[in-house]
């Protein structure tokens, strides 16, 4: 991740403007899905090592294994593998990576961060984890599926400190500048958030405000999937929940806590500067307030996430803040009732977004 605003987790649409990539339609959801094969064993970070240990003084040290304590790792199941002995499964395929690809005839993928295969395993686990979380909300069963297809990823093959998702080919590429991007689950699932939105609305992000919504949702998805994993596996979370990419950002931030961005800034539309990552903090604060407002209303964070994601089916590729907020409000009303809809409307109004 570059310290410059332009290259922090650039979306596909922003890269297209820069002349690097072209916009295109997302692939059809009906693409063939590999058969569910087997479950493996893997070693991953509990979201990221700063978050799980609470140690804001951790630094990359050129991928040194000793830079991160063993307590930051967890042994986990690697689910939905196809049994080929590679990191290929129903929802994820690690297509290529720097260094030797991770392979195992026994489905045992246990590495540390000094080994290139570790980031490959992280990418597989956390993309699969995100898709499983989305499906736990009802998408693909009681609700339409959301990017329920095999997601191709390339790991450590972009030399810059940046990661990005593209439509053509439909792929996520994780960079290796500073802390390798695929060492931080919130970075991994930020990019998966772009893939989710492009699957819901092909070509999403063609206006500045739509691009900002894309960055905001990516940040939000990375945080909410991580928090759900903490609850699922009993992992510790020792940094502010609203802080995005605590580990990756140690390479380019000097303030503590280290955050790429936050979900709880006080930005409003009066603070817009036309840069999608900056302006995304307006939308992500609204999502964060919706989440917390649902809890205050006796609803769950999962219920909030379901409404937030379901509403995106109604977004236009070039949506505005106002139009997307109205779609979220209407979805909340139909799914969760008038009190929830009022919570959503108030969250957007507090950011200066009205409809």
CATH of residue 58's domain is 3.10.170.10
User: Is the same domain home to 196 and 225?
Assistant: no
Residue 268's domain comprises 208-349
User: Is the same domain home to 44 and 192?
Assistant: yes
- Residues 28-50 have a mean pLDDT of 74
User: Is the same domain home to 104 and 218?
Assistant: no
**End-of-domain residue from the set 164, 179, 200:** 200
- Residues 80-86 have a mean pLDDT of 96
| Dist. CA 203–CA 16, nearest whole Å | 11
Residue among 78, 122, 141, 127 nearest 104 (CA): 78
Query: What average pLDDT does the structure give for the chain?
Result: 89
CB atoms within 10 A of CB 25: 11
List of residues 6+ apart from 30 with CB closer than 8 A: none
- Residues 329-339 have a mean pLDDT of 98
The share of the chain scoring above pLDDT 70, in percent, equals 85
Evaluate the CA torsion angle 250, 256, 258, 260 in order and state its sign: negative
CATH number for position 287 = 1.10.390.10
| Dist. CA 94–CA 108, nearest whole Å | 16
Encoded tokens for 291:
């989440």
Encoded tokens for 159:
């030399």
pLDDT beyond 70 at 139: yes
User: Is the same domain home to 46 and 152?
Assistant: yes
Encoded tokens for 301:
């964070």
User: Is the same domain home to 105 and 246?
Assistant: no
| Residue 2 maps to a domain | no
| Residue 3 maps to a domain | no
| Dist. CA 15–CA 214, nearest whole Å | 13
| Residue 144 maps to a domain | yes
Encoded tokens for 315:
């977004």
Say how many domains are in the chain.
Answer: 2
The pTM is what? 0.89
Owner of token pair 């929830």: 340
User: Is the same domain home to 72 and 193?
Assistant: yes
**End-of-domain residue from the set 145, 171, 200:** 200
**End-of-domain residue from the set 179, 200, 221:** 200
pLDDT at 1: 37
Owner of token pair 């609203």: 242
User: Is the same domain home to 260 and 327?
Assistant: yes
């Amino acid at each position: 991740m570059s310290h410059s605003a332009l290259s922090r987790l650039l979306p596909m649409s922003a890269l297209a403007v820069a002349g690097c990539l072209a916009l295109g339609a997302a692939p059809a959801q009906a693409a063939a899905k590999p058969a569910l094969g087997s479950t493996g064993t893997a070693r991953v970070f509990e979201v990221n090592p700063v978050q799980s240990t609470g140690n804001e003084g951790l630094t990359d040290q050129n991928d040194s294994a000793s830079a991160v304590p063993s307590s930051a790792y967890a042994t986990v199941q690697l689910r939905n593998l196809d049994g080929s002995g590679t990191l290929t499964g129903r929802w994820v395929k690690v297509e290529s990576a720097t260094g030797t690809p991770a392979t195992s005839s026994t489905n045992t993928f246990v590495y540390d961060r000094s080994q290139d295969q570790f980031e490959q395993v992280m990418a597989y686990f956390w993309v699969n984890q995100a898709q499983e979380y989305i499906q736990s909300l009802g998408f693909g069963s009681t609700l339409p599926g959301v990017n329920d297809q095999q997601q191709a990823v390339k790991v450590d093959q972009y030399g810059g400190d940046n990661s990005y998702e593209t439509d053509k080919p439909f792929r996520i590429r994780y960079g290796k500048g500073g802390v390798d991007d695929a060492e931080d689950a919130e970075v991994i699932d930020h990019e998966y958030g772009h893939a989710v939105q492009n699957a819901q609305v092909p070509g999403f992000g063609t206006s500045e405000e739509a691009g900002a919504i894309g960055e905001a949702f990516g940040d939000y998805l990375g945080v909410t999937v991580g928090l759900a994993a903490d609850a699922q596996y009993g992992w510790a979370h020792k940094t502010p929940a609203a802080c995005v990419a605590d580990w990756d950002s140690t390479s380019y931030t000097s303030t503590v806590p280290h955050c790429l961005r936050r979900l709880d800034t006080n930005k409003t539309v009066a603070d817009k500067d036309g840069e999608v990552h900056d302006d995304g903090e307006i939308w992500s604060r609204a999502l964060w307030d919706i989440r917390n407002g649902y809890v205050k209303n006796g609803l769950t964070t999962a219920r909030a996430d379901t409404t937030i994601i379901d509403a995106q089916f109604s977004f236009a590729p070039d949506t505005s803040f106002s139009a997307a907020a109205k779609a979220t409000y209407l979805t909340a009303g139909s799914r969760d009732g008038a009190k929830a809809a009022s919570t959503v409307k108030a969250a957007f109004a507090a950011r200066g977004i009205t409809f």
